[in-house]
Amino acid sequence: MTTMEELELDEPGYFWWRDEAYPADHFASENGVTGRLKIKKSGEINLELDSVLPRKDAGHGITRVLGRKKGEETPRAIQGILKTSGRRVILVDAVYSGGQFHSHRFTWERYLATMCLLGETDFPSNRTIPTFSKIELNLTGLENWLVHGTLKYSSTRRTFRVRLDEYRGPVYQTPFGRLAFEKRTEVDGLDGMHHFKASVRELMTLTLRRSRSFQVEEVREEFVHLQDLFTVLSGSSYQLKWPSVVLSKGKRIYTLIFRRVGGIAKAPELHELPLKFDAIKSQFGDIYSAWREKREAFGPGFFYYLSTKRDAKMYVENHFSNLIQGLESFHRTKYGDKPVTGALQEKIDRIVAQVGKSDDRRWIRGKLVHACEPSLAERLSELFTALPIGIDHDLLKTFATTCAHLRNDIAHYGGLRSRTASASFLRDTSLKNEVVGYLYHMTLLNEIGLSGHAIKVWAGENLAGMVYRHYLVAIGFLKPAGTK
């Protein structure tokens, strides 16, 4: 059963098909029905109607309910007005998810959707899904990363003053659109006749514009691109608020809500941040462009790391496997397949020539087709030693070999190859997860254009590197503080 804490919205309303025409002087279709809309904090959208929405392709109510199967119908937009708040809503891709037919009481049906638009003003009356000129992300929760806050106050015996500094945020022109950071101020508590309490809050937003309009699916994709980028830059799986969108023609603003995983992580603290916005402010546009391009080019090489930051619970072994598989995929994409060199081909030919039977020669030649391909340990070693983190390369190579052996054991044996019980196995694997996770994280940052100096600062003896260095000491890469 869903609790109130799990719900983003729970409100009755009046609903009808979005593509259905009705008079311009009506605020809704006459063919609508009442129902209740519930939206979970995860973005799960469910609509339960008190009756059945009329459909031209169906006749009697019994055929409209009993003759339908879940998930087999083409998604169709449902529009509505909520009873208590008066907000307008469009379920963009509603599909039938169940219902009941009754002959002596009302028949009802349910719909679910993966996306919906929610706002205070009416939608355009053209019966299509709106398009948008601007996407806006509320960056509340990333204040520590932004190093944001200009509020100052002073008081005397007679007055209390709050002052905010003017802030002109940076703007970046990229191949994917125009990015702009903007500051806003919110003041609450000044409603009513008597003002006895007020709160003032600064917040930062990031807007994205481009020459052509955004379709609603594109808004979701752009938000995911930026959310994932902030996950990598902040080292946190903290989820941003739902994006706001502005209509292509006009200034009407709506919120796009959609299904997503996670959402339980708290806003990152100062000691958890690998870097801050000031360190990349001048190159943020280039980093965003590189992120967009390489996220698509590397595919699993990026996605496997993000999968470990989704707030989804995983077994320690699965977490480790995801990290290593992601790094292997990253290496294969970055360096490609190495061709067989002349010297190696000559060696293969010499070995094959020494085999007497022709069938055996074909078999051994087939086995040597991938002889030039680097091993998993070599792939990991090449990635780890390329990082500017000041750790002895021999230690990194040994660690890469250990990780490769463990991944193969997990993949082929489900655990340790020896099959012996080990009380320290999970603890040791968990420690490797932390170290490999840091090295993977740095590899991605390095790939999208973060400077070697910025990575060194993260790995250095400062607040952000304290946790990182703790695990490096535990794994044996560094000596404990105070020892020679």
Q: What is the pLDDT of residue 86?
A: 95
In 10 A of CB 379, how many CB atoms? 22
Determine contact, residues 242/257, Cβ cutoff 8 Å.
yes
Q: What is the pLDDT of residue 61?
A: 52
Q: What is the pLDDT of residue 259?
A: 92
Spell out the residues 6+ positions from residue 213 whose beta carbon is closer than 8 angstroms to its own.
Answer: 131, 132, 133, 248
Return d(Cα 451, Cα 288) in angstroms, integer. 14
∠ CA(10), CA(114), CA(33), 5° rounding? 50
Domain ranges of the chain: 4-119, 132-246+261-297, 299-338+374-475, 343-372
CB neighbour class for 332 (10 Å; exposed up to 12, middle 13-18, buried from 19): middle
Among residues 45, 83, 13, which one has the least CA distance to residue 242? 45
The residues with which 11 forms a beta bridge, in sequence order, are: 37
Return d(Cα 242, Cα 260) in angstroms, integer. 10
Binning the chain into helix, strand and coil, the percentages to the nearest 5 are 35, 25, 40
Q: What is the pLDDT of residue 470?
A: 84
Written as six digits, the tokens of 382 are 């090449």
Q: Which residue has the tokens 């997503």?
A: 260
Return d(Cα 3, Cα 347) in angstroms, integer. 69
Q: What is the pLDDT of residue 459?
A: 75
Q: What is the pLDDT of residue 285?
A: 96
Give CA 118 to chain center in angstroms: 21
Among residues 465, 287, 330, 480, which one has the least CA distance to residue 389? 465
Q: What is the pLDDT of residue 212?
A: 93
Return d(Cα 1, Cα 3) in angstroms, integer. 6
How many C-alpha atoms does 426 have within 13 Å on its Cβ side?
5
In 10 A of CB 169, how many CB atoms? 15
Return d(Cα 41, Cα 396) in angstroms, integer. 42
Return d(Cα 370, Cα 367) in angstroms, integer. 7
Spell out the residues 6+ positions from residue 199 whose beta carbon is closer than 8 angstroms to its own.
Answer: 187, 188, 189
Write out the H or E segment, with its range, that includes residue 378: helix 376-385
Determine contact, residues 97/39, Cβ cutoff 8 Å.
no
Written as six digits, the tokens of 15 are 């609903």
The residue type at 177: G
Return d(Cα 140, Cα 136) in angstroms, integer. 12
pTM of the model: 0.86
Cα 41 to Cα 154, 256, 258, 262, 387, distances in angstroms = 39, 13, 10, 10, 39
- Give the residues of the chain that fall short of pLDDT 70: 1-5, 56-72, 150, 189-196, 339-342, 344, 368-372, 418-423, 461-462, 464, 481-484
Q: What is the pLDDT of residue 454?
A: 83
The residue type at 433: N
Q: What is the pLDDT of residue 484?
A: 63
Q: What is the pLDDT of residue 158?
A: 78
Determine contact, residues 480/470, Cβ cutoff 8 Å.
no
Largest Cα–Cα distance in the chain?
Answer: 104
Spell out the residues 6+ positions from residue 142 whose beta carbon is closer than 8 angstroms to its own.
Answer: 148, 204, 230, 234, 238, 240, 267, 268
| 3-state SS class at 43 | coil
DSSP 269-312: PGGG-S--HHHHGGGHHHHHHHHHHHHHHHTHHHHHHHHTTSS-
Q: Are strands 115-119 and 199-214 parallel, antiparallel or unpaired?
A: unpaired
